[in-house]
Amino acid sequence: MNIRTMLHLVVTTFYVTAVLGAPRRDPQLDQHWELWMDRYNKTYHEKEEGWRRMVWEKNLKKIELHNLEHSMGKHSYRLGINHFADMTKEEFKQIMNGYKPKAEEKANGTFFKKPSFQKVPDSVDWRQEGYVTPVKDQGQCASCWAFSATGSLEGQLFRATGRLVSLSEQNLMDCSRSLGNHGCDGGLAKKAFEYVYTNGGLNSEASYPYLAKDNPQCSYNESYNAITIDGYAYIPSGSEEDLMEAVATMGPISVAIDASRDSFQFYQSGIYYEEDCSKEELNHAVLLVGYGYSDQNYWIVKNSWSENWGNNGYIYMAKDRNNNCGIATDATLPIIL
């Protein structure tokens, strides 16, 4: 069953439940609802708006409760209303989380070894060094794996050449299916790296633009090749120390995390620590661009859900807290010699 069929079943079930047993909407929130729809350019069919409003109100209450607990010192981060507020948890996971692990996923890469001559600094932020392109938006397509891959590729290209070039996620989506990726139905960054290596290159974003949907035809054009790589490497699984050394000495790293909690969907600011996160059940690919310390250690993570999500498209995730959310479980980077 593909993602669109599953989404249709979820929506249909939710709609029936809403019609038959939903509580009445809160009229005091009418103006807030209208302002939210206007801000995010939301439009609905007449029958759909009622239950989308119900979902929105339910999510708003969760956010308000969490932030009240934050003010009491129970959480290290705040939540905020965003463009996902009209989506149920089930819809959100089906549409936005596209990391698809497989048993044979570590077949062809090598293991990362920290350069012995480099000292690891106390903090790193590759955004400040020109390694990172602006935050992108995968839209309603579970292509996070492709954005995670291009982010790391873009960083390695800058490291090797001094040129920051936005690379094509659509090229990866359309052309790496034979390696096990599935476009808007999910995939793996490592398989994207394998495609770039075996194909001999990847097109730029400008020459092969993103469509936010599956395209059955691969349109890679060698004339617009923007990067070649010499392979890819794995960071030892579960080791935050090795992950820190890798991002400090090499640049942005492709990582996978458990992003299945409501708190991740509505993260806004602060350092994200979720005690209910899994270290093994990962479902979302993102880009690690650095780390630092304020009142606690944190990772700097670039997402692909637009600047409307999180802290201008970023999330600061708890570091050195027993591999919270599995950030060090499956980390890879492309290699340019």
Q: Is 97 a catalytic residue?
A: no
Query: 133, 151 in Cβ contact below 8 A?
Result: yes
Bridge-based pairing state of the strands 314-318 and 267-272:
parallel
Pick the closest to residue 317 from 250, 243, 245 (CA basis).
Answer: 243
Pick the closest to residue 309 from 145, 53, 155, 96 (CA basis).
Answer: 96
Q: Is 182 a catalytic residue?
A: no
Task: Give me the catalytic one of 303, 311, 323, 324.
Answer: 303
Task: Give me the catalytic one of 59, 284, 324, 325.
Answer: 284
Amino acid (one-letter) located at 325: C
CA 89 from centre of chain: 16
Pick the closest to residue 189 from 95, 110, 286, 92 (CA basis).
Answer: 286
Burial (CB < 10 A; 0-12, 13-18, 19+), residue 163, is exposed
Q: CA-to-CA distance for 22 and 88, rounded, in angstroms? A: 14
Q: Is 215 a catalytic residue?
A: no
CA 197 from centre of chain: 23
Token pair belonging to 126: 């590759």
Amino acid (one-letter) located at 45: H
Q: CA-to-CA distance for 48 and 291, rounded, in angstroms? A: 42
Task: Give me the catalytic one of 141, 144, 184, 325.
Answer: 144
Catalytic residues: 144, 284, 303
